[in-house]
């Protein structure tokens, strides 16, 4: 379970970015821009996190995909709590 969520550095970077911006939605191209990686890398990471139920992805039209955290899932609520606690430890 954790190896699927934190499978690579990009998985962790994307997850951290989305946890930090959890009330926003993003396009795949904007995420690749923010994380400085290719859209295909974002697509692969999103697919993995989508299978875990952590990310929601919706296609608008033929080209545009929007991506956001699945805030209704218990896993995501636990990740948010974990992330916020870890941020407090850094202070």
Q: Judge whether residue 26 has pLDDT over 90.
A: yes
**Can you spell out the DSSP letters for 2-22?**
HHHHTSSHHHHHHHHHHHHTT
C-alpha 88/C-alpha 4 separation (Å) is 25
Calculate mean pLDDT across residues 1-5: 67
Query: Domain range spanning residue 22?
Result: 2-90
Number of independent structural domains in the chain: 1
The tokens for 58 are 């919706």
> What's the CATH number where 47 sits?
1.10.10.10
Q: Judge whether residue 1 has pLDDT over 80.
A: no
Q: How many helices (H) and strands (E) does the chain have?
A: 5, 3
Q: Model confidence at 3, in pLDDT bands (50, 70, 90)?
A: low
């Amino acid at each position: 379970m954790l190896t699927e969520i934190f499978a690579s550095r990009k998985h962790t970077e994307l997850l951290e970015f989305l946890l930090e911006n959890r009330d926003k939605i993003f396009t795949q191209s904007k995420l690749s821009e923010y994380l400085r990686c290719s859209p295909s890398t974002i697509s692969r990471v999103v697919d993995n996190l989508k299978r875990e139920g952590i990310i929601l992805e919706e296609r608008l039209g033929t080209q545009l995909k929007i991506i956001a955290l699945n805030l209704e899932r218990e896993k995501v609520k636990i990740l948010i709590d974990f992330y916020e606690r870890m941020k407090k430890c850094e202070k």
